[in-house]
Amino acid sequence: MKLKDIPVVAMDAPISAAPLSGHASVLLREIAERVRHWIETGETATIDLLAMPLNATDLDWLRERLGTGEIRITLDADGESTLNETNCPGVWWVMHHNPNGGVMSAFIEVAPVPELVKAHRDDVQGGLERLEWLITDLG
């Protein structure tokens, strides 16, 4: 099967959607390579989707190929971020939006869990102080 033979169904296609550019299939191979590298070395990876010459059709095609996993993560901090597992465990589709809902950045993250989800030490220390304050307040 050639690239042009792949049936692509645009769900809300504009009247003249751009055709697949060919970069999407290159990226799919790159993702597989990063997952293989991670399994072999433990080294995780982040791919900046907006830094690549992908059009909307490419992104739709890629998203459909990767599929939807069981885990959906939402982070609300000055705009919503969605960090969703694809149907390939350890491959996450990460999007950051501004407060108006516009896409600020989009990444594929290859890792056990997206980095942003992990609680960081300084924040945990701050949370402990909050807990101690709550406990003091109990009298």
138 binds its own copies (CB under 8 A): yes
Contacting its own copies (CB under 8 A), which of 47, 52, 59, 73?
Answer: 73
Contacting its own copies (CB under 8 A), which of 23, 45, 90, 95?
Answer: 90
Total site size for its own copies, rule CB under 8 A: 52
113 binds its own copies (CB under 8 A): yes
71 binds its own copies (CB under 8 A): yes
Cβ-Cβ contacts under 8 Å for 94 (sequence gap 6 or more) = 81, 82, 83, 84, 106, 107, 108, 109, 114, 116
How many residues make up the chain in this entry? 139
Contact by Cβ (8 Å): 8, 45: no
Least distance to its own copies, CB of residue 24, Å: 10
Q: Spell out, one character per residue from 118 to 137, where the chain touches its own copies: x when CB under 8 A holds, - when not.
A: xxxx-xxxxxx-xxx-xx-x
Instruction: Count Cβ atoms below 10 Å from residue 71 Cβ, excluding itself.
Output: 13
88 binds its own copies (CB under 8 A): yes
Least distance to its own copies, CB of residue 66, Å: 8
77 binds its own copies (CB under 8 A): yes
Nearer to its own copies, 3 or 104 (CB): 3
CA angle 57, 62, 63 (to 5 degrees): 100
**Dist CA 97 CA 27 (whole Å):** 23
